């Protein structure tokens, strides 16, 4: 007996409860699933779904054993979509059809096969059972080779890969969609899209994995470089479509001839993007993929929208960039992503406002800037125009590392609708700010120069950009690396001198402490990640005295030793400061400081993330379908907010 649609909905929710990451239903979000599928309780507490093709009952859920087959639900939804949306009649569709390998019949049956009009020749093979992209793609390739089918689809309901094998050629290509029953594959290459028709909700990490697996494996190119070239070409195309093309047509797409795809994406888009956003790539750079490989990538990226994303989608793109950079950054001294929960704690505690200027002088991939932006958007700015204006006007980042900086620039371009304030400069060295290449950064920061007491000091500051008027600095400067024998740099810093004499070398994070104090206005707030030794070691007493003289210590949060693993096991703390007022305001000699030590880092001893679990040992998911990291930094931030309000901190009144 069939169950009512409301109960069907509840059963589906139970089936997919702990499978959000593997078997989401994004592919079918436009359908009322509970009205499409017929689920019946054939035995007590055991539920079966009616096969749309054969009318047979297929097991999907057992309440007592808590066992489920989410892939069967996905298969039935694909059958519905093939029939209703793509218009293939059921007499051209088969399920669980054995796959032929020459004279042998493979034991593994294909989930769905769509035949050509002769109802004999396989046309599309759909596989819904593999939860892993690489395995799914490998399975599809095997099927395409065996059956002579032109199109293969791997789908778990959330991610989707479409392979296309243009016989008699021996390579797999990609498609952005499958043809409808009244279309040919060639028809897909003729479809023009408007910017407004692009999809802003996508899993970019999965797209990057697909690009790596299908197009870049064995290409001999730098994966990071080539993917970012495509991202910037796509951003430029979207910007033009929105701002200059009357019909909003996007031209970043797959064309029938790979050579045309390459000419459009490389010559018309990427090379112009290099001119539009200088200092991201070299003027002579080009996409170094073959036309065939680039064409595969275009098929995977052409339907997504990068501009005007919501917070959840921005976080998804950020996560993909972190995935992408992880291998590139391995082994580089002092370089790694600051864990998301550390960033969120810092932002939450300092409570940035919608009219405050923020800078990260070692911005890397832009995590602090991005999450400051989310905080302000969520708390103060609800409309899209105000959000874009904030991203364009108030957020600044500086970094010298090309790969990490490209990430932050791309994220800020996406958030700021094609504009950003991320610059390739050396934050520590005033000499770098006097080079001709620094002009863009100088122009952007000029309104934030501090007005000093006399003309000579102002003139010097206009050369060096030493003293600035930012409201907040949030940063995790690189720990590794000294500045040995660079007397010209060390001479610029009080902390590089001892008893009036210049030291031979000083670690970079020590110089950053002084640099950020000078970057911020009186009363401005700071969060900086530092090695714990700066706060504890006897040879760092002079640094602590400098800090007490320049700023009020708001809080010290000791992070767990696993927090930055596997990149480093260095014990770290986050120091929260507020720069004292002007000279006439005397610093307090005695005041309360918030102190906390994190006991739960969210990582194990190997540096792998540890996730929260329910009473049954199952992972707990957040509202975005991601596993919740098991850490205590949210609780520490909440306790600090209580402390800040009790002590009447102005930024928490």
3-state secondary structure string across 368-418: HHHHHHHHHHHHCCCCHHHHHHHHHHCEEEECCCHHHHHHHHHHHHHHCCC
Fold of the domain spanning 311-652: Rossmann fold (3.40.50)
pLDDT of residue 384: 80
Return the SS3 of 174. Answer: strand
Of residues 636 and 44, more confidence is placed in 636
| Four-CA torsion 229, 319, 327, 426, nearest 10 degrees | 70
Predicted confidence (pLDDT) at residue 466 exceeds the cutoff of 90 = yes
pLDDT of residue 21: 43
pLDDT of residue 164: 86
Q: pLDDT band for position 336 (50/70/90)?
A: low
Predicted confidence (pLDDT) at residue 204 exceeds the cutoff of 50 = yes
pLDDT of residue 333: 45
Region 509-516: mean pLDDT is: 94
Region 339-353: mean pLDDT is: 94
pLDDT of residue 26: 75
pLDDT of residue 2: 61
| Domain residue extents for the chain | 5-70, 90-190, 194-301, 311-652
- Whole-model pTM: value is 0.79
pLDDT of residue 627: 78
Say if residues 532 and 544 touch (Cβ distance below 8 Å): no
Low-confidence winner among 79-83, 219-223, 367-371, 454-458 (lowest mean pLDDT): 219-223
Of residues 190 and 106, more confidence is placed in 190
pLDDT tens, residue by residue, 117-155 = 999 888 999 988 655 666 777 777 777 777 678 898 888
Low-confidence winner among 20-29, 116-125, 359-368, 568-577 (lowest mean pLDDT): 20-29
Low-confidence winner among 18-27, 274-283, 351-360, 597-606 (lowest mean pLDDT): 18-27
Q: How far apart (Å, rounded) are the C-alpha atoms in residues 518 and 492?
A: 12
Annotate 543-554 with b (16+ C-beta within 10 A) or e (fewer). Answer: beebbeebbbbb
Of residues 62 and 23, more confidence is placed in 62
Q: How far apart (Å, rounded) are the C-alpha atoms in residues 61 and 645?
A: 51
Distance between start and end Cα atoms, the chain: 61
Region 85-114: mean pLDDT is: 78
Q: Highest-confidence range of 399-403, 546-550, 588-592, by mean pLDDT?
A: 546-550
Predicted confidence (pLDDT) at residue 334 exceeds the cutoff of 50 = no
Report the run of H or E that residue 521 belongs to, with start and end.
strand 520-531
pLDDT of residue 209: 85
Beta bridge partners of residue 115, listed in sequence order: 122
Predicted confidence (pLDDT) at residue 628 exceeds the cutoff of 90 = no
Q: pLDDT band for position 24 (50/70/90)?
A: low
Fold of the domain spanning 90-190: tt1808, chain A (3.90.1570)
Predicted confidence (pLDDT) at residue 157 exceeds the cutoff of 80 = no
pLDDT tens, residue by residue, 41-75 = 888 889 999 999 999 999 989 888 888 888 888 89
Q: How far apart (Å, rounded) are the C-alpha atoms in residues 318 and 307?
A: 14
pLDDT of residue 560: 92
Region 566-592: mean pLDDT is: 82
pLDDT of residue 488: 86
Region 618-640: mean pLDDT is: 85
Q: pLDDT band for position 329 (50/70/90)?
A: low
Predicted confidence (pLDDT) at residue 170 exceeds the cutoff of 60 = no
Strand spans (E) along 10-101: 39-43, 46-50, 57-62, 67-68, 93-101
pLDDT tens, residue by residue, 377-431 = 999 998 888 888 898 899 999 998 877 888 888 888 887 766 789 998 899 999 9
Predicted confidence (pLDDT) at residue 481 exceeds the cutoff of 70 = no
């Amino acid at each position: 007996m069939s169950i009512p649609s409301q109960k069907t909905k509840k059963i589906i929710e139970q089936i997919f409860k702990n499978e959000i990451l593997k078997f989401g239903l994004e592919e079918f979000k436009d359908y009322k699933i509970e009205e499409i599928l017929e689920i019946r309780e054939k035995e007590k507490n055991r539920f079966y779904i009616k096969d749309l093709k054969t009318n047979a009952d297929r097991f999907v859920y057992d309440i007592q054993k808590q066992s489920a087959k989410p892939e069967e639900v996905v298969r039935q939804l694909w059958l519905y979509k093939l029939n209703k949306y793509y218009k293939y009649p059921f007499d051209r569709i088969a399920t669980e059809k054995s796959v032929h390998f020459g004279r042998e019949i493979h034991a593994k049956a294909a989930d769905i096969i769509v035949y050509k009009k002769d109802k004999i020749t396989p046309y599309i093979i759909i596989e819904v059972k593999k939860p892993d992209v690489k395995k799914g793609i490998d399975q599809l390739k095997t099927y395409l080779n065996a059956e002579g089918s032109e199109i293969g689809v791997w789908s778990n309901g959330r991610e989707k890969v479409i392979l296309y094998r243009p016989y008699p050629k021996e390579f797999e290509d990609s498609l952005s969609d499958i043809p409808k029953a009244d279309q040919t594959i060639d028809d897909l290459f003729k479809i023009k899209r408007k910017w407004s028709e692009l999809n802003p909700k996508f899993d970019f990490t999965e797209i990057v994995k697909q690009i790596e697996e299908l197009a870049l494996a064995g290409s001999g190119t730098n994966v990071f470089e080539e993917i970012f070239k495509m991202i910037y070409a796509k951003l430029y195309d979207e910007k033009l479509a929105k701002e200059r093309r009357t019909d909003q047509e996007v031209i970043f797409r797959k064309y029938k001839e790979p050579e045309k795809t390459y000419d459009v994406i490389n010559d018309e888009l990427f090379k112009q993007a290099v001119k539009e956003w200088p200092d991201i790539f070299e003027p002579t750079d080009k996409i170094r993929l073959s036309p065939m490989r680039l064409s595969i990538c275009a098929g995977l990226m052409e339907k997504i929208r990068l501009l005007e994303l919501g917070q959840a989608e921005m976080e998804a793109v950020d996560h993909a960039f972190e995935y992408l950079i992880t291998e590139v950054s391995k082994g580089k001294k002092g370089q790694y992503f600051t864990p998301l929960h550390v960033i969120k704690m810092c932002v939450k505690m300092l409570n940035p406002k919608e009219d405050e200027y923020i800078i990260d002088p070692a911005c890397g991939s832009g995590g602090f800037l991005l999450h400051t932006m989310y905080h302000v958007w969520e708390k103060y700015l609800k409309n899209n125009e105000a959000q874009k204006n904030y991203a364009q006007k108030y957020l600044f980042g500086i970094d010298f590392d090309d790969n990490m900086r490209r990430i932050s620039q791309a994220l800020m371009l996406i958030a700021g609708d094609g504009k950003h304030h991320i610059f390739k400069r050396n934050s520590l060295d005033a000499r770098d700010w006097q080079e001709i290449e620094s002009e863009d950064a100088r122009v952007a920061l000029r309104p934030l120069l501090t007005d000093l007491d006399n003309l000579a000091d102002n003139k010097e500051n206009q050369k060096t950009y030493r003293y600035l008027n930012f409201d907040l600095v949030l940063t995790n400067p690189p720990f590794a690396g000294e500045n040995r024998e660079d007397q010209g740099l060390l001479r610029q810093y009080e902390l590089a001198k001892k008893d009036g004499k210049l030291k031979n070398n000083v670690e970079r994070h020590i110089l950053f402490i002084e640099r950020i104090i000078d970057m911020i206005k009186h009363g401005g707030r700071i969060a900086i990640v530092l090695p714990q030794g700066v706060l504890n070691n006897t040879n760092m007493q002079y640094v602590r005295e400098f800090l007490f003289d320049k700023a009020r210590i708001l809080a010290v949060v000791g992070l767990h030793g696993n927090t930055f693993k596997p990149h480093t096991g260095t014990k770290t703390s986050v120091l929260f400061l507020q720069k004292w007022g002007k000279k006439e305001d005397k610093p307090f000699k005695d005041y309360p400081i918030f102190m906390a030590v994190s006991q739960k880092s969210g990582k194990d001893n190997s540096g792998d993330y540890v996730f929260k679990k329910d009473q049954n040992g199952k992972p707990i998911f957040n509202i975005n379908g991601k596993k919740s990291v098991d850490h205590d930094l949210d609780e520490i931030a909440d306790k600090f907010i209580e402390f800040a309000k009790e002590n009447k901190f102005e930024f928490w009144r």
